[in-house]
Structure 1
Amino acid sequence: MDQVRVAAWASDPIALAGLIDHLQARPEVQVLPGPRRGEAAVLVFAAGRVTPELKAALRAAASETPAAIVLVAGYVDADELPELAACHVVAVLPREAIAGDRLVRSITAAASGKETSLRDLLGQAESLQHTAGGAALSPREVDVLRLMAEGWDTAEIAGKLCYSERTVKNVIYGMTNRLKLRNRPHAVAYALRAGVI
Structure 2
Amino acid sequence: MKRIPVTVHTSDPLSETGILSFLRDDPTLEVLDREEPRTGGVAVVHTGRLHELAATKLRRLSRGSDQAIVLIADRLREPEMMAVVECGVRVVLWRQQATPGQLVEAIHSAARGESLLPPDLLSRLLAQTSLLYRHTLSDGDQRPTLGLSLREVDVIKLVAEGLGTREIADKLAYSERTVKNVLHAMMTRMQLRNRAHAVAYALREGHI
- Which residue of structure 1 lines up, in the alignment, with residue 121 of structure 2? 125
**Residue 85 of structure 2 corresponds to residue 85 of structure 1:** yes
Indicate if the aligned counterparts of 1:67 and 1:88 stay in contact, CA closer than 8 A.
no
SS of alignment partner, residue 61 of structure 2: helix
1:125 maps to amino acid: L
2:102 maps to amino acid: R
- Which residue of structure 2 lines up, in the alignment, with residue 14 of structure 1? 14
The 2-side partners of 1:98 and 1:121 are apart by 12
- Write out aligned runs for 1:105-144 (5 A): 105-114=105-114, 116=115, 121=117, 123=119, 125=121
The 2-side partners of 1:21 and 1:85 are apart by 29
Query: Which residues of structure 2 form unaligned runs of 5+?
Result: 125-208
Give CA-to-partner distance per residue, 1:21-69, whole Å, 9 cap, x none.
1211111211110112643411101111111110011111112202110
- TM superposition score normalised by structure 2: 0.53
- Which residue of structure 1 lines up, in the alignment, with residue 104 of structure 2? 104
User: Displacement of 1:98 after TM fit?
Assistant: 4.2
User: Displacement of 1:126 after TM fit?
Assistant: 6.1
Give CA-to-partner distance per residue, 1:137-159, whole Å, 9 cap, x none.
xxxxxxxxxxxxxxxxxxxxxxx
SS of alignment partner, residue 61 of structure 1: helix
Query: Which residues of structure 1 form unaligned runs of 5+?
Result: 129-197
1:65 maps to amino acid: S
Indicate if the aligned counterparts of 1:6 and 1:37 stay in contact, CA closer than 8 A.
no
2:101 maps to amino acid: D
- TM superposition score normalised by structure 1: 0.56
SS of alignment partner, residue 48 of structure 2: strand
Indicate if the aligned counterparts of 2:9 and 2:16 stay in contact, CA closer than 8 A.
yes
Let me know the Cα RMSD of the aligned residues. Answer: 2.4
Give CA-to-partner distance per residue, 1:47-105, whole Å, 9 cap, x none.
11111110011111112202110001111113322211221211110114543311111
Q: Which has the higher strand share?
A: 1
The 1-side partners of 2:36 and 2:97 are apart by 25
- Which residue of structure 2 lines up, in the alignment, with residue 76 of structure 1? 76
Indicate if the aligned counterparts of 1:49 and 1:76 stay in contact, CA closer than 8 A.
yes
Query: Whose Rg is larger?
Result: 2
Indicate if the aligned counterparts of 2:93 and 2:117 stay in contact, CA closer than 8 A.
no
The 1-side partners of 2:22 and 2:37 are apart by 18
Moved over 4 A (4+): none
Indicate if the aligned counterparts of 1:37 and 1:43 stay in contact, CA closer than 8 A.
no
Indicate if the aligned counterparts of 2:3 and 2:30 stay in contact, CA closer than 8 A.
yes
SS of alignment partner, residue 93 of structure 1: strand
Higher relative contact order (CA 8 A, sep 6+): 1
The 1-side partners of 2:78 and 2:103 are apart by 21
User: Displacement of 1:123 after TM fit?
Assistant: 3.6
Cα–Cα, structure 1 residues 87 and 57, in superposed 2: closer, same or farther, change >3 Å? Answer: same
**Residue 36 of structure 2 corresponds to residue 36 of structure 1:** yes
| Number of residues of Structure 1 aligned to a counterpart in Structure 2 | 124
1:28 maps to amino acid: T
- Which residue of structure 1 lines up, in the alignment, with residue 24 of structure 2? 24
SS of alignment partner, residue 106 of structure 1: helix
2:85 maps to amino acid: A
